[in-house]
Amino acid sequence: MRKSKTILIIDDDPDMRAYLRKLLEGMGHEVHEAQDSHTAEKKLAEVFPHLILLDINLENENGFHFISQVRMIDPHRRIKIIMISSMSSKKAIELSQKIGTHGYLIKPINNNILMTTMKKIMPELDFPEAKNLDISFNKLTARCSGQVIKISEIELVLRSKIKFTEKMKLLIQSQFLKKIDIDRAQFIIHQMSKDVQPGIYDTYVSVVGLKEKDLKGIRSLKTKKA
């Protein structure tokens, strides 16, 4: 089964965003929306999309300008960008190609055109894997977002897009954990993550080093879900 991709639609037309979202989610992808570059910047702080569908003519700004911001976040150009526009001029298409986008869709975009475009670009959307790293990389760190979906006095379940395959310590920054005073505990993964759905995993994380006063925060919860 082909894994779903994370896609960010940036367009100031809510009807266009809704239309594209429906088609892309129908293909099994995770879709996020932004109506302008400011909102898109906030989205990029939360998710790292495989693909951005970017409108050339955003309200009061040019979509091409936003590409430089994407390149600052992703200098290795792992995020692919497809421009979408009602302009069919040769000049606009050539400029899009010149700055290194990966496609140009002319509005109105119909179902068949989008499906053909997605099928063509899918092989390019896989992020590279780091394997057999040299020992000098043993202090590398990575940051990802996730959700604590269950907690007990000895472990919590972290749902995220990361599949952990070996024992390791985690640094978890969470307002929820901070609220119940266990944000300074040690969090250790002892087993491989479990698949929940394509691209989503549950990881059972041991909670170590809690004191009696910390345990009271967990016991006080009316529900075990967070």
Residue 226 binned pLDDT confidence (cut-offs 50, 70, 90)? very low
Q: Residue 116 has what pLDDT?
A: 93
Assign 1 a pLDDT band (cuts: 50, 70, 90). Answer: very low
Q: Indicate the fold that domain 6-124 takes in CATH.
A: Rossmann fold (3.40.50)
**DSSP string across 21-64:** HHHHHHTT-EEEEESSHHHHHHHHHH---SEEEEESEETTEEHH
For 36-58, write each residue's pLDDT tens digit.
Answer: 988 998 888 878 899 999 998 87
Tell me: cis bond preceding 14? Omega within 30 of 0 counts. Answer: no
Q: Tell me the average pLDDT across 23-34.
A: 93
Q: Is the pLDDT of residue 197 over 90?
A: no
Res 105: pLDDT:
93
| Better-predicted residue by pLDDT, 143 or 174 | 174
